[in-house]
Amino acid sequence: MKPFFSSPFRWLLLLIVVLAWIKPSQAAHLIGGEITYECQGSNRYTISLRIYRDCQGGGAAFDNNARVAIYDINNNLIRTLFIGRGPIVSLNNLSSDSCITVPPNLCVEYTDYIDTVTLAPILGGYTLVHQRCCRNAIIGNVTNPGSIGNTYSISIPSMDTTCNSSPKIDVPPDNVICLNRPAVIPISVSESDGDSISYELCRIYAGGGSAGAGGGNCFSVIPNPPCPPPFSPVAFTSPYTYQDPIPSSVTFRINPQTGVLTGTASQQGIYVAGICISEWRNGQIMSTVRLDYQFAVSNCQKKVISDMRTPIEDPTILCDGLTVKFENQTVGANSVLWNFGDRNTVADTSRDWDPTYTYPGPGTYLVTLIANPGQSCSDTTFAPFTVKPPVVPTLLWDGVPCFEVQNLSFSTAGNLPSNGRYRWDFGADAEIPFVNGIDAYGIRWQSPGRKPVKLTVAWDSCSVELHDTIDITANSVFVDAGPDTNVPRGQILGLRANFGYDYYWYASSPIEINNPFARDPRIRFRDQDDTVVVYLRLTDQYGCQGTDSLFVYLYDDREQAVYNIITPNGDGLNDFFDLSYLNPSGSCKLTILNRWGSEVYTDDAYGNDWFGTDQDGNTLPDGTYYYVLQCGFEVKSTGPISIVAFP
């Protein structure tokens, strides 16, 4: 006969033992639970064990069956209930705060294990116990959470002849607490006996461990049966305690009468807490439901977020001095209310989305923006705005803007910032295109024309541009050298210009001149010249210049000379262009041309009576014109003719 351990039965037995060991896996995603009971009469009690688990990430499933041990006052085991699992319910709303959206990666579900048992009244009553390992290893306020389990227990009163029922948690509490947002978590409880209820943060207990699969060992994954009291309290990691279990800027407290848990969490993470709900009758505690529950502190998304653009985000919002154009960045709101923090008036509010407000003076004002004011989901934000007097610069310039002089000076005036930065831009044609500083001197351009000037004034994160155009002119001074004229050869011509500061006369041909720098020089021309152009360059008192010229026609026979100026002003002197000595019969043709060669007047039988009009009788403007006198086929005379209505 073969030895037993060498036979196939040996391997089958080993496989059974291994499977039995690994079947009750450590339920590392269990996040809480509680036991309650309801008396049905005739000493019958319906026992309800509710277990919560994190259903995100594929952790261990709910056990198909749960053990609940029943002990008397002396820890004698009365019996062990083996209860089948009920339906699995997903919590669709992990927070009762309707104004937030919880992170999408959170998932919580629960199931109930319910059984009814008959328990006769006994002295000292009964203790109901369920134990299971293990807790989440990521719990942040418990020492070695992944190696300890949970104990859920409740007591039935001594000699319960009144058919007492424990308090019952009607709605699972919020699982999610929003980071840095005041939490208001109601613990919804019903009590069918009419007893008074009190609430407190209380100890939670360890139960089970990782020492084995099950059996009498209290440190196995699923103790069988669950072990009796006293139970070992869960050790909180300092600085946390069961009375202060969650990191907070406002400590979490539960109202002992209303059961509302409040506080403001200050650190993300998973934190476990115990909430005890006790029923009182005639000053005595009848039973206590101990909720062992895990909270997830997460970054929640508020459905309504009050937000505005602040000077920290965009310092240019303060560039307009005492007037601020506010930019609303609120999300999810259908109305807003601004308070601009102006303590000098009660009219410093607006319901406009992007309002503009002008403050009475410089200073720091605390601006408040309420999103959805007066509604259940509202939000408020604050921001300080420090306003300064408005910057209102002015661009000034001084100097002579003629090309011959220039050397302009530019300066900045007005309400200027104390920390201003100034940059001048005079264009590429300027000898000095750019200047940094509040003033600029000696500015010249290399050619005449309209010159754009830009001044940029910068301070803090602000800037403003000022623009001007300087017209740099050449030959801008008015100059009148006199009308064109005829001069007999050899005769001296006297000229007289309009008033100026400096004069300089010169000609197109060599001339004799007594003083080329005089206002009224005397000139003699060469005998061989027929026509000479005389030029005058005049300079005014600022150094600006202008030029003018006149034609001088030289002739030999004075009898053939034509007096080439008429003054048709009605004074009876030289009103008409008299050519009677060349056209005594009045049968010659006269044609008048302007300087551009266009015909403005003609008379086929000139009666020596033209007085400076066009063909339609309209008075021609003063100036020099040209005439042609033709008698038959012979051109009798040509030359300039000047109209000076008011010599």
Give 491's Cβ-side CA count (13 Å radius). Answer: 15
Instruction: Give tens-digit pLDDT for 245-282.
Output: 999 999 999 999 999 999 999 999 999 999 999 999 99
The CATH number assigned to the domain with range 562-643 reads 2.60.40
> Residue 287 pairs with which residues in a beta bridge?
279
**Residues 333, 336, 340, 346, Cα dihedral to 10°:** -160
Answer whether CATH 1.10.357.10 is correct for domain 485-555: no
Of 1.50.40.10, 2.60.40.10, 2.130.10.30, 3.40.50.300, which CATH number belongs to 304-387?
A: 2.60.40.10
Q: How far apart are CA 42 and CA 40, in angstroms?
A: 7
Please check whether residue 645 is in contact with residue 566, taking contact to mean a CB–CB distance below 8 angstroms.
no
Please check whether residue 577 is in contact with residue 641, taking contact to mean a CB–CB distance below 8 angstroms.
yes
Q: What are the CA-CA distances from residue 488 to residues 217, 508, 524 (Å)?
A: 147, 18, 10
Write the DSSP string, 542-562.
TS-EEEEEEEEEEES-GGG--
Q: Any idea which residue has 């209860």 for tokens?
A: 83
Q: How far apart are CA 416 and CA 323, in angstroms?
A: 16
Q: Of 126, 168, 114, 138, give the one whose Cα is nearest residue 291.
A: 168
How is the chain split into domains, by residue range? Answer: 27-298, 304-387, 392-472, 485-555, 562-643
> Which one-letter amino acid corresponds to residue 80?
T
At 11 the three-state DSSP class reads: helix
Please check whether residue 224 is in contact with residue 215, taking contact to mean a CB–CB distance below 8 angstroms.
yes
Q: Any idea which residue has 């003018």 for tokens?
A: 548
The pTM (predicted TM-score) of the whole model is 0.59
Q: Of 551, 641, 626, 642, give the one whose Cα is nearest residue 594.
A: 626
What CATH superfamily classification does 392-472 receive?
Immunoglobulins (2.60.40.10)
Whether residue 10 is predicted with pLDDT greater than 80 in this model: the reply is no
Whole-angstrom distance between the N-terminal and C-terminal Cα of the chain? 158
Return the pLDDT at 474.
93
Instruction: Give tens-digit pLDDT for 190-201.
Output: 999 999 999 999
Q: Fold match between 304-387 and 562-643?
A: yes
| DSSP type of residue 20 | H
Q: Residue 564 — very low, low, confident or very high, per pLDDT cuts 50/70/90?
A: confident
Return the pLDDT at 20.
36
Four-residue CA torsion sign, 267, 271, 274, 275: positive
Whether residue 26 is predicted with pLDDT greater than 60 in this model: the reply is no
Instruction: Give tens-digit pLDDT for 583-601.
Output: 888 899 999 999 888 999 9
| DSSP type of residue 236 | B
Write the DSSP string, 244-261.
B-S-EEEEEEE-TTT-EE
Instruction: Give tens-digit pLDDT for 281-337.
Output: 999 999 999 999 999 999 988 899 999 999 999 999 999 999 999 999 999 999 999
Backbone φ/ψ region at 613: left (φ over 0), alpha (ψ -120 to 50), beta: beta
